[in-house]
Structure 1
């Protein structure tokens, strides 16, 4: 009685390893983009809790926002990516930016990120 071999061939193993390797490589490019976006959202949330932010001038708001981003090592958000508009009871802040990372040869991973927050927290300013 013959026993049939079961399992994966060397070629199959190499192909699976290549697919997993490409997935890990792309993940290494994409994960920092999303962690930076998380830092932008956390900076906006913290800024919204700042006392007197609803009456602060836009330049002061941008300064506070970029100070928070500096702590989080965010490099892709520039002042031209931030817009602040007057809203009911305060300000409406929008951060819209694009991150482009090269992957292989002329293929890029592109992320378009938009975060919005209403800045309406009153109270005494510092």
Structure 2
């Protein structure tokens, strides 16, 4: 009896295609990770600032200085002073950070991330948006 067993598996060409697609998604992830890492550093700095006692009575300049000190610890480089807006809301301050990050991908293609974070800064408690 001459029986052949059928072999199953992936061909070399199929493996190269799968590896290429997986590599592309890893490449995109590597490019986008710093953007989102910086955004979470901004959110963390805002929450840390809101937890500081008496922050509702600080001047906007002092609040901005404390915020950027917290960001410098995280090596955040895309958030600038013109991206931060502080305004009075009742007895508290409303701090809004809106910025854009443009990261080159391949040739003339860029990945653009637009980020927005808002935090209410009061002397006793904190609420995030």
- Relative to the length of structure 2, the TM-score reads 0.91
Q: How does 1:89-104 map to 2 (within 5 A)?
A: 89-104=91-106
Give the aligned partner of residue 71 of structure 1: 73
Unaligned runs of 5+ in 1: none
Unaligned runs of 5+ in 2: 125-129
Compute the displacement of 1:43 (Å): 0.3
Aligned equivalents of 1:105 and 1:16: distance in 2?
23
Give the aligned partner of residue 53 of structure 2: 51
Give the aligned partner of residue 20 of structure 1: 22
Compute the displacement of 1:97 (Å): 0.5
Deviates more, 1:24-33 or 1:50-59: 50-59
Aligned equivalents of 1:121 and 1:50: distance in 2?
8
Compute the displacement of 1:67 (Å): 0.5
Question: What is the number of residues matched between the two proteins?
Answer: 122
Aligned equivalents of 2:123 and 2:43: distance in 1?
17
RMSD: 0.9
Aligned equivalents of 1:106 and 1:22: distance in 2?
16
| Higher RCO (C-alpha under 8 Å, 6+ residues apart) | 1
Q: Indicate the SS of the match to 1:115.
A: strand
- Relative to the length of structure 1, the TM-score reads 0.93
Give the aligned partner of residue 39 of structure 2: 37
Q: How does 1:106-121 map to 2 (within 5 A)?
A: 106-121=108-123
